[in-house]
Structure 1
Amino acid sequence: MSRYSIEEFIKQTEQVDKGEGFFELETPRMLEVNLDGQVWAKAGSMVAYHGEMRFVREGILEHGLGTAFKKALTGEGASLMKANGRGKLYLADSGKKIVILKLQNDSIFINGNDLLAFEPSIKWKIKLMKRIAGMMAGGLFNVYCEGTGMIAFTTHYEPLTLRVTPGQPVITDPNATVAWSGNLQPVIQTDISFKTFLGRGSGESIQMRFEGDGFVVVQPYEEVYMNSKQG
Structure 2
Amino acid sequence: MTTDAPQVFDFTTLPANDNVNPYAFSVDLNGQWFLQKGKMIAYYGQIDFHGIGHGPLDRLVASSFHSPLHAADWVVAEGHGKLLLADRAFDVNSYDLDDGNLTVRSGNLLAYEPSLSLKQSIIPGFLTLIGTGKFVAASNGEVHFVEPPVRVDPQALVGWADCPSPCHHYDHQYLKGVMGGIRAMTGLGGASGEEHQFEFVGAGTVLIQSTEMLMADRNAGAVPDQAGVPGGGGHGGHGGQSGQGGQQTPQLPGQLGGLQRRFGL
TM-score normalized by structure 2?
Answer: 0.64
Q: Using the alignment, how far apart are the partners of 1:195 and 1:177 within structure 2? A: 22
Superimposed CA distance per residue, residues 18-47 of structure 1 (whole angstroms, 9 cap, x where no aligned partner): 7864x2111111010111110011211010
**Relative to total residues, which structure has the larger strand share, 1 or 2?**
1
- Paired with 2:47 and 2:14, the residues of 1 have a C-alpha distance of 21
Equivalences for 1:73-222 in 2 at 5 Å? 79-129=73-123, 140-164=124-148, 169-191=149-171, 193-194=173-174, 203-205=188-190, 206-219=196-209, 220-222=211-213
Q: Which stretches in structure 1 are left out of the alignment for 5+ residues? A: 130-139
Q: 1:152-203, CA deviations, whole angstroms, 9 ceiling, x for partnerless residues? A: 1111111121111xxxx21112221001113322112334745999x9x985
Q: 1:19 to 1:64 in 2, by over 3 A?
A: closer
- 1:29 correspondence with 2:23: yes
Tell me, yes or no, if the aligned pair for 2:66 and 2:118 is still in contact at 8 Å.
Answer: no
The Cα RMSD (Å) is 3.4
Percent identity over the alignment is: 25
Normalised by the length of structure 1, the TM-score is: 0.72
Quick check: 1:172–1:207 contact (8 Å CA) kept in 2? yes
- Name the residue aligned to 2:66: 63
The secondary structure found in structure 2 opposite 1:185 is coil
Q: Are residues 195 and 172 of structure 1, via their aligned partners in 2, closer, same or farther at CA, if it must alter by over 3 Å? A: farther
- For residues 29 and 195 of structure 1, the distance between their equivalents in structure 2, rounded to whole angstroms, comes to 40
| One-letter amino acid of the counterpart of residue 83, structure 2 | L
**Kept in 1: contact 2:96–2:135 (CA 8 A):** yes
Contact conserved, 1:18 with 1:24, CA < 8 A, in 2?
no
| 1:52 CA displacement | 0.9
CA distance in structure 1 between the aligned counterparts of 2:173 and 2:100, rounded to whole angstroms: 38
Question: Secondary structure in 2 aligned to 1:104?
Answer: strand
Decide whether the 8 Å contact of 2:168 with 2:199 is kept in 1.
yes
Aligned residue pairs total 198
The answer as to whether partners of 1:78 and 1:113 remain within 8 angstroms in 2 is no
CA distance in 2, matches of 1:196, 1:152: 42
Contact 2:48 2:78 (C-alpha < 8 Å) held by counterparts? yes
1:175 partner amino acid = Q
C-alpha distance in 2 between matches for 1:104 and 1:149: 7
Name the CA distance, whole Å, in 2 between partners of 1:109 and 1:27: 25
> Alpha-carbon deviation of 1:64?
5.3
Change (3 A) 1:170 1:110: same
Larger deviation: 112-121 or 100-109? 100-109
